[in-house]
Amino acid sequence: MPATVVVGAQFGDEGKGKIVDYLADRADVVVRFQGGANAGHTVQVGDQLYAFHLLPSGVLRKRTMNVIGNGVVVDPTQLLKEIEETRAHGHSVENLRISDRAHVVMP
């Protein structure tokens, strides 16, 4: 069972989201393991751009399970906004799981 891990060595725009989006097409599981709503990653499907802050990059891939892990700081308001925007574009988030040990911050 091979694993591919994408970890940044700097802060900010390194292009990690684009790389994960590319790799997610062939992945069984994509895990967001740390960070919060202050981070952002852009995913492109066709001509449509999606700017995610909490949702993992693979969430638009139907066959890929996506996990928000223990180290993620979840802002429920931001997460629900991203889920609603994703659904409004015709995508399901049935492939999303959230760790019961993820940190929750209140707006």
Catalytic residues: 13, 41
What's the pTM?
0.86
Q: How far apart are CA 37 and CA 39, in angstroms?
A: 5
List pLDDT tens digits, range 81-103. Answer: 999 999 999 999 999 999 999 99
CA-nearest of 23, 21, 88 to 56 is 21
The CATH architecture of the domain made up of 16-104 is 3-Layer(aba) Sandwich (3.40)
Q: How far apart are CA 11 and CA 87, in angstroms?
A: 30
**Separation of first and last alpha carbons in the chain:** 39
| Residues 95 and 105: beta-carbon distance below 8 Å | no
List pLDDT tens digits, range 20-64. Answer: 778 888 889 999 888 889 888 888 888 888 989 999 988 998 999
**Would you kindly state where each structural domain of the chain is located, as residue ranges?**
16-104
As a whole number of angstroms, the longest Cα–Cα distance in the chain is: 39
Tally of CB atoms within 10 A around 96? 18
